[in-house]
Chains A and B, each alone.
Chain A
Amino acid sequence: MRVRRAQVRSVPVAIVLLSSLALLLAACGTGPSSSSGGTHKATPVTVGVVAPFTGNQAFIGTFFGAACSAAAYVVDQAGGVLGGKMTCAHVDNTGDPADAEPNVARAIATLSNFDLAVGLDSATAAVTVPLVENAHIPLVTLNGLSQYDNNTNQYFWRVEPDDTNQGAALAAYTLQRGLHNVAVVFANLGSSESEVSGTITGLKNLGVHTTITLNIPSDATSYASEVTRVISSHPQAIIMDGDPQTETTFFTQYKQLSNGHVPPLITTTDLLSTSFTSAMTKNLGASFVQHDIAFLGYYFSNNATAMSQYKNALEKLLPKKEAETDLTLSGLPTEYDGIIVAALAMTMAHSTNGPTYNADILKVSEGGPGAVVVHTYAAGLAALKAGKSIQYVGVDGAFHFNASHNVSGQFQVFDQTSSSGSSTIATVTPALVTQALG
């Protein structure tokens, strides 16, 4: 999951900065409210946000709570789910399995109408997933664990490809670009084990020669020796996934030690930030930054209609600045989309009961022949009322689930066309990623 990695180094500061955000959210009344919607048969829906809300990763909970609130806001504006109000309940997993187990179990036992779980739970998935599975509560998850690549849990829906896929996509893009000799450099902050192995396996399976593979420590003050080794391996390009600071230092020292001859960089969208591009521009020049850095990330269609509704909801709930800066990060719109999909599936199944609507999650995502493509919950509701089948294509595009209830990995490659924006230069198909993984 992208959000986790990008933020983990500055956790305490993030807590300080986001404490105000947390307070605001609390003030918005997004906590569990047991409004027993007295009118007819309409029952409320409670979405359990399983994430750290306390401890040093509490900022993650703040983010995910906000995305859930945005979804609940949109759903309620359109009249709720089958007339019932949607609310978000915070289920604190603290990032620690020892806390997650009792907290999730308690939520299952005590929350009324706990019909959907969402969350970022790589650290605690091992205890969370079986609990919600046994309680027949559909789970929209963003964990990156490769152990769920061949998932058999029925209520498990992973809406982001795991790290192995991203690693393989880096390899696939390299081949797509016609490169045959690349150096692979990973730093311990920024890349996971499964991503590294995905890249290395991918390059091998696709027949791309790896001139050197280096695993470097993050944020060191000198990479001179490492750089020398990469230079003498004569790569056509460098695949690197590290934190922005490590990549800036590494490439600047590369330039110093190679008389200015720096091969193109293939990295991930984690680094697509103004602080990284401005630092690289200073030291490697604008031309290098605009033409020689490719940022690869999970396919993000950024549907304008869906996005504007998402942003609009955030702005209703939060001050404008926070809504724009942090909460459009990759991962959060995905969670938002997942909740909308589940809400539409409930409508389609005429039930908020997990075992009844679970299968409709797939139908709403895939659409199928004759399905009407919708970008908002309200549009989906209208189409369903009109008796049509639908496909929801949200902020983050459509979900294509495979048999293991994992979204298949389509990736997109950007470049930094100017100081202000990025544009898509290539897409990597799921087929090629699958081929890379062998």
Chain B
Amino acid sequence: MADEGCHDDMAGEVLLEVQSLSAGYGNVEIVSGVSLKVSEGEMVALVGPNGAGKSTVLRGLAGVIRVFDGTVKFLGKEVTRHPLESLVRQGIGYIPQGDDTFPHLTVKENLEMGGYLLATNERRQAMSHVLDRWPQLVPMLKRRASTLSGGQQKMVALGRAMMLRPRLIMLDEPTAGLSDELTRMVITDIALGLARAGTSVLLVEQKARVALETADRAYVLVNGRVAMDAPATEILADESMAEVFLGGRSGAERAG
């Protein structure tokens, strides 16, 4: 077990622990030697410039692409190369980038699909919990997901993933394609909702500033390797990091 206790004094039990993960597609290794950790109640962001391999790390963890090397532990148990459906059954939620809802199903059916593993009455309970948490879903229950706005679809995707009440949720760029304003709203909503539900978050986000403002800790990924690992506020304050990928637009973004 890695000894890097300085950041997680406040947090509880370690949920996810990744050591020296190498992953990629076919025979091409995109990320290598990535280690990270997510503890109970934490929101951890994985940020970095375009093409750094952030989503690749997440997909490797989710068991949907090839993992070359490294170990992944969840709740102390080794889950390296476990298929996604098995991770889901162990308490990890995953929201892929892009197609994250069933477009031809209604919102209600999407949520039901999220509760696929549950018995009927459990599913009903889970749905009312989700709807309590995100009441904005209630008026759109009967609409097809494909007819919703991008922001609304994110909430549906989140609700779908929360049906199983995962201990940890892995989000792959939930704000891709959303306006800056919506991005802020979605990320904040997610953070608040999940915090209240007691779910930890591993968030991959291109729009780093918003992510860092919300997250507890963050890993900065550059060229497939972890370049910095610190509390989010420290990274936000770090001038060199701002140069690397925040593009020095701090003033403009804060005005939003």
Touch between A and B in complex, CB under 8 Å?
no
Please list the residues of chain B having a beta carbon within 8 angstroms of any beta carbon in chain A.
none
| Interface residues of A, Cβ cutoff 8 Å to B | none
